[in-house]
């Protein structure tokens, strides 16, 4: 059975369609249902994409740490595949958080960047993600790579309370929990759910691919000596 | 308005690039498995011919 | 266990005093960075109190990491690594011993740099010496914990060493940031509630990193 050809079974079609419908509804809600904000106008709609990205950046990190602990306890590389998936997607979401946040900051505060506590700590989180991914690329042995990534992910997670609590502990420009119209709040919540579902679905597909890539590398190493002997 | 469009544009571009990267990797994976299969086949044929010769 | 702990600490400190491989570089780098930063501060006379905290702790971080980074590399190079791992000693004992050595290194650096910054910047850091000492102890403990763990990881990889050193800064930023803020408030003479909150944050992160380091070390040194 050829596992590398993308076989689209009916269950995948159903799940994929549900994800697409959810995302489509979220986009509709963002542009048609949510009212236009008084002060900032249409630019305020960036919040419906910025907040989900920020949430996913943090979630990715937490799942990375859980996967890391899972590997350290079980020594099953499947945990490491989840770590890599969440690392890639989480880093992407963190980058998009900084990018969308920067665009919004330019509209709201007239500056692209501020060394505000929450922005600073989000940037730190991005650096940790990048560091872990770069370190993974430099280690060949899968188990050593898994072990190192797990330790770094657990250490990095200790920074998360800082990111989350930054605006509550220290004064800064970044809004904490601004007053929002109920319809805006509902749109935001729906947007978070839709993007989380979408990225979870992407993550499952990517994880399968990582598993196959590792299998191919492993088989290549096993078959090569045999081929050379012959 | 432009800022909002830029923000949404960046996010969707990133998603498209990620999915494209996954598709390219899938194709590369297919080629790897095909090459592994043919290598394995070749080494099995060699083993069989060696056994017959012996 | 205490015997093994003190044996490792003694071995590392004595070998460093005899060979003088790392500490002179660390101290010299600290002084050079400190001098450069002091010149920058001089260009903004009204801002010295605000800048001294951040610049002091950055200088300590960069210089200190040159020493901490080497804490396991020398074991590898001289073939001591396997011996250390095969010793009938709990991995956490090795971690705490290496941590103490790194803590001593950082403390030596701070004893040099803090007076240097005080003299060059003319900021009254010495007015609250006790509080500054407390900040220095907590910050050194936190930095040493993360640095020890990551340098052990780097020693395990070998060629990926340089990349790992880069990852220490974002990991240790909460500690460096809190220490810098505490020092800034000391320099500005503001010992109120903000100072205590930053100190609590510093203490909390140092304790968390020490605990995490001790628990994770056995996974770091296995092969």
Whole-complex ipTM: 0.85
Q: A30: which DSSP letter?
A: I
Mean of pLDDT over chain C: 84
What's the rounded Cα separation, in Å, for the pair C166 and A133? 12
What's the rounded Cα separation, in Å, for the pair A221 and A228? 11
Of A219-228, B33-42, C27-36, C163-172, the poorest mean pLDDT is in A219-228
For residue C165, give the chain A residue with the closest CA: A131
Q: Output the pLDDT for position C21.
A: 75
Q: Taking residues B7-16, what's their average pLDDT?
A: 92
Which of residues A78 and C82 earns the better pLDDT score? A78
Residues A122-162 have pLDDT tens digits of 888 898 899 899 889 888 889 999 999 999 999 988 877 76
Q: Output the pLDDT for position B24.
A: 94
Quickly state the pLDDT bin for A107 (edges 50, 70, 90).
Answer: confident
Q: Which residues in chain A are contacts of C167 at CB distance < 8 A?
A: 127-128, 131-132, 135, 152
Q: Which residues in chain A are contacts of B18 at CB distance < 8 A?
A: 89, 92, 202
Best of C155, C162, C163, C170 to disrupt the A interface (most A CBs within 10 Å) is: C170
Tell how far CA A191 is from the center of its chain: 15
Which of residues C5 and C42 earns the better pLDDT score? C5
Residue A118: both structure tokens together: 């929450």
Q: Which residues in chain A are contacts of B19 at CB distance < 8 A?
A: 202
Please judge whether A213 and B14 are an interchain contact, meaning their C-beta atoms are less than 8 angstroms apart: no
- Return the C-alpha torsion angle A106, A111, A116, A119, nearest 10: 40
Q: How far is A214 from chain B (nearest CA, A)?
A: 10
Range of the domain at C47: 2-221
SS (HEC) of chain C: CHHHHHHHHHHHHHHHHHHCCCHHHHHHHHHHHHHHHHHHHHCCHHHHHHHHHHHHHHHHHHHHHHHHHHHHHHHHHCCCHHHHHHCCCCHHHHHHHHHHHHHHHHHHHHHHHHHHHHHHHCCCHHHHHHHHHHHHHHHHHHHHHHHHHHHHHHHHHCCCHHHHHHHHHHHHHHHHHHHHHHHHHHHHCCCCHHHHHHHHHHHHHHHHHHHHHHHHHHHHHCC
Size of interface A-C (CB pairs under 8 A): 71
Please judge whether A155 and C146 are an interchain contact, meaning their C-beta atoms are less than 8 angstroms apart: yes
Q: Taking residues C143-162, what's their average pLDDT?
A: 81
What's the rounded Cα separation, in Å, for the pair C179 and A88? 32
Q: Taking residues C132-141, what's their average pLDDT?
A: 94
For chain A, how long is the longest CA-to-CA vector? Answer: 76
Residues C94-124 have pLDDT tens digits of 899 999 999 999 999 999 998 888 888 777 7
Q: How far is B15 from chain A (nearest CA, A)?
A: 9
Quickly state the pLDDT bin for A199 (edges 50, 70, 90).
Answer: very high
The total domain count for chain C is 1
Task: Assign B24 to helix, strand or coil.
Answer: helix
Q: Alpha carbon of C80 to those of A47, C20, C90, C94, C144: distances in Å? A: 55, 18, 17, 13, 21
Q: Is A132 on the interface with C (CB under 8 A)?
A: yes
pLDDT surpassing 70 at residue A121: yes
Q: Which residues in chain C are contacts of A116 at CB distance < 8 A?
A: none
Residue C175: both structure tokens together: 């500690």
Residues A3-25 have pLDDT tens digits of 555 556 777 788 888 888 988 88
Q: Which of B8, B22, B33 sits opposite A209 (nearest CB)?
A: B22
- Return the C-alpha torsion angle A145, A151, A153, A159, nearest 10: -150
Q: Which of A72, A128, A150 sits opposite C171 (nearest CB)?
A: A128
Size of interface A-B (CB pairs under 8 A): 78
Residues A59-75 have pLDDT tens digits of 999 999 999 999 999 99
Q: Which residues in chain C are contacts of A122 at CB distance < 8 A?
A: none
């Amino acid at each position: 059975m050829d596992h590398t050809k993308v076989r689209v079974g009916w269950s995948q079609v159903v799940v994929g369609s549900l994800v697409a419908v959810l995302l489509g509804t979220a986009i509709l809600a963002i542009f048609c249902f949510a009212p236009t904000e008084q002060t900032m106008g249409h630019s305020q709609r960036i919040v419906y994409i910025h907040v989900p990205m920020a949430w996913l950046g943090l979630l990715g990190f937490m799942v990375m740490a859980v996967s890391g602990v899972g590997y350290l306890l079980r020594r099953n590389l499947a945990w490491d595949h989840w770590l890599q998936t969440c690392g890639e997607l989480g880093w992407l979401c963190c980058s998009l958080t900084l990018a969308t946040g920067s665009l919004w900051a330019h509209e709201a505060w007239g500056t692209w960047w501020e060394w505000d506590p929450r922005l600073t700590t989000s940037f730190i989180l991005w650096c940790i993600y990048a560091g872990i991914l770069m370190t993974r690329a430099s280690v060949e042995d899968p188990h050593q790579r898994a072990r190192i990534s797990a330790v770094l992910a657990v250490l990095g997670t200790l920074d998360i309370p800082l990111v989350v609590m930054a605006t509550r502990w220290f004064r800064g420009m970044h809004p904490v929990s601004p007053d929002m119209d109920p319809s805006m709040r509902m749109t935001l919540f729906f947007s978070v759910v839709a993007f989380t579902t979408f990225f979870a679905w992407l993550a499952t597909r990517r994880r399968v691919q990582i598993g196959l890539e590792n299998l191919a590398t492993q088989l290549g190493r096993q078959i090569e000596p045999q081929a050379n002997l012959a | 308005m432009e800022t909002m469009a830029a923000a949404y544009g960046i996010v969707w571009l990133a998603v498209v690039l990620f999915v494209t990267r996954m598709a390219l990797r899938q194709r590369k994976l297919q080629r790897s498995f095909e090459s592994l299969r043919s290598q394995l086949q070749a080494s099995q044929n060699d083993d069989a011919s060696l056994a017959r010769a012996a | 266990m205490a015997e093994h702990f003190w044996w490792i600490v003694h071995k590392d400190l004595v070998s460093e005093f005899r060979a003088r491989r790392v500490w002179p570089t660390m101290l010299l780098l600290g002084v050079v960075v400190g001098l450069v930063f002091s010149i920058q501060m001089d260009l903004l006379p009204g801002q010295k109190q605000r800048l001294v905290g951040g610049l002091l702790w950055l200088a300590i971080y960069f210089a200190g990491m040159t020493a901490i980074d080497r804490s396991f590399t020398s074991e590898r190079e001289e073939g001591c690594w396997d011996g250390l791992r095969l010793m009938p000693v709990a991995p956490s004992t090795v971690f705490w011993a290496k941590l103490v050595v790194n803590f001593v290194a950082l403390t030596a650096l701070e004893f040099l740099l803090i007076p240097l910054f005080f003299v060059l910047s003319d900021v009254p850091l010495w007015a609250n010496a006790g509080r500054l000492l407390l900040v220095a102890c907590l910050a050194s403990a936190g930095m040493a914990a993360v640095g020890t763990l990551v340098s052990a990881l780097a020693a395990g990889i070998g060629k990926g060493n340089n990349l790992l050193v880069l990852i220490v800064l974002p990991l240790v930023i909460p500690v460096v940031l809190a220490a810098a803020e505490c020092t800034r408030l000391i320099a500005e003479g503001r010992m109120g509630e903000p100072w205590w909150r930053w100190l609590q944050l510093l203490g909390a992160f140092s304790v968390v990193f020490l605990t995490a380091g001790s628990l994770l070390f056995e996974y770091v040194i296995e092969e």
